[in-house]
Chain A
């Protein structure tokens, strides 16, 4: 299953629910395009819900990092929500877990943008 994105607004925070696989090709480019579009529209607070992401490769990790820097460079903030154990492990061994602000609870994550 390729990646699927659903974007919704919770207050002034844009939540992107991501499901499927974020891998080289369609998966990573879909996420990249969505983040760039949101930033171009002026969205500054973006919460990426990865709870339904079954698989992510180094290309997908690259897109998370690129998204993080793209949003940050525009004065915004990108945070992560609900990592699966495998995605969390991957971010830990690549030393990226401490780079991202990671949350388990959506309401708490949304409040943290304030």
Chain B
């Protein structure tokens, strides 16, 4: 996603690989979302996506390793010529191939205990991108469009 000029960074923080960090990051990002003007339903959806993403980063990516961190940034600005709220969450894990993640909506996977996190992130956000980063880790970009306020 191309960044146009004038984007504002409202959060840039490294969190330890703990479940407490999930709550902290969710809280910080929801605060930024509220200040951006998202309503309660939007904030709930953003919070759900962030929570799933942070859990993936801490549990499956960094595997609770105290020597690894989760880097979280939030940018607000014009991306691809439209106002967007862009969250990037990067872990230092071994990475994974998105296409290898089983479809949780497939009949044979419906009763699986886990595997719905990525799907829910995509369902609750307007756009989501996952990529491996060097030297090791996964960066997830979660995008929510900022709708113009009614006057």
Q: Cβ of B123: which chain A residues have Cβ within 8 Å of it?
A: 93
Is B110 in contact with chain A by the CB < 8 A criterion? yes
Which partner residue on chain A sits nearest B55 by CB separation?
A24
- Determine if A111 is an interface residue (Cβ-Cβ < 8 Å): no
Across the interface, A62 reaches (CB within 8 A) one of B48, B51, B105, B113, namely B113
Whether B51 contacts A65 by the Cβ 8 Å rule is no
B104 near A94 (CB under 8 angstroms)? yes
Number of contacts between A and B (CB, 8 Å)? 45
Q: Is A11 an interface residue (CB 8 A)?
A: no
* Contact B55–A69 (Cβ < 8 Å): no
Residue in A25, A65, A86 whose CB lies within 8 Å of B111: A65
Asked if A66 CB lies within 8 Å of chain B CBs, one says: yes
- Does A61 make an interface contact (CB < 8 A)? yes
Q: Tell me whether chain A's interface is mostly helix, strand or loop, or mixed.
A: helix
Of B51, B116, B123, most buried by chain A (CB within 10 Å of CB) is: B116
Interface 1/0 per residue, A92-104 and B, CB below 8 Å? 0111100100000
Nearest to B124 among chain A residues (CB) is A93
What 0/1 pattern do residues 52 to 78 of B give for CB contact below 8 A with A?
100100010000000000000000000
Task: Give A25 Cβ to nearest chain B Cβ, in Å.
Answer: 5
Q: Known contacts A23-B51, A57-B48; is A94 also within 8 Å of B19 by CB?
A: no
Within the assembled complex, what's the spacing in Å between the Cα atoms of A57 and B112? 15
Return 26 A-B CB contacts under 8 Å, by A number: A23-B51, A24-B22, A24-B55, A25-B19, A57-B48, A57-B51, A57-B52, A58-B55, A58-B114, A58-B117, A59-B55, A61-B116, A62-B112, A62-B113, A62-B116, A63-B113, A65-B111, A69-B111, A93-B120, A93-B123, A94-B119, A94-B120, A95-B110, A96-B110, A99-B110, A99-B111
Chain B residues engaging chain A, CB cutoff 8 angstroms: 19, 22, 44, 48, 51-52, 55, 59, 104-105, 110-114, 116-117, 119-120, 123
Supplied contacts A57-B52, A65-B111, A86-B44, 19 more A-B pairs, CB within 8 Å: A23-B51, A24-B19, A24-B59, A57-B51, A58-B116, A58-B117, A58-B120, A59-B55, A62-B114, A62-B116, A63-B113, A65-B112, A65-B113, A68-B111, A94-B105, A94-B116, A94-B120, A95-B105, A95-B110
